[in-house]
Structure 1
């Protein structure tokens, strides 16, 4: 898959296939051209971000959308690893998760998350949240290495 120089590159770290599909569809239908790569756990996310193994040819994403509760290496561990890695700590990370627990929210911000978004259970509300993320992060905020469209 080739990434256009005018597309936003997003790494989606999500173990739930339904949530991953909805997120990708919402970005695909959005206003900003997006290239969404998807991995299912934190170990794969770190391999992708460090361009290891089969991810050696991947470009650095403009943003990471990170689920917290995953097998093998959870989102909290990914956040901690990214914030301690000079090559990765500048990538904006949005926790996109079902947890609304105050301790999860606090832990994510403490470990470098740029935003924390609770996934709503309803389809339309979920799509609206993803579109709001797109509008803010790609319409208002400036991202590292982002080429304006």
Structure 2
């Protein structure tokens, strides 16, 4: 099954490749950077180094730029593994079921560590995220 997060919006093909590194290098130590694919956020990273390099993602079929990634010079390009505080619905609208489960778990962990200030808030987030994970798991089993 194709991963809709990889579809090029222009030609609807499903393969994409990183073809070049841009000339821009920024001094953004400590800042958050977001990777995008087809104009939607698929992950984020806090940069520990001073220099940050932008990788541009192009469709291998039509050449359309369909996203970008960032990497610190001493770190590997991160892969889709979580949002770290980005809104669930904005970031995973086109993700696969398995990716959604990973994202939800990461969002849950980060939310619990960073943004929860009361037992009431914790309970609210726990219930919502656990329900979403169960829904994703049920759908995933039906698709197998």
Q: TM-score range by the shorter chain?
A: under 0.3
Tell me the TM-score normalized by structure 2.
0.24
TM-score with structure 1 setting the length: 0.23
Comparing both chains, which one has the higher relative contact order based on Cα–Cα distances under 8 Å and sequence gaps of 6 or more? Answer: 1
**Rg comparison, structure with higher value:** 2
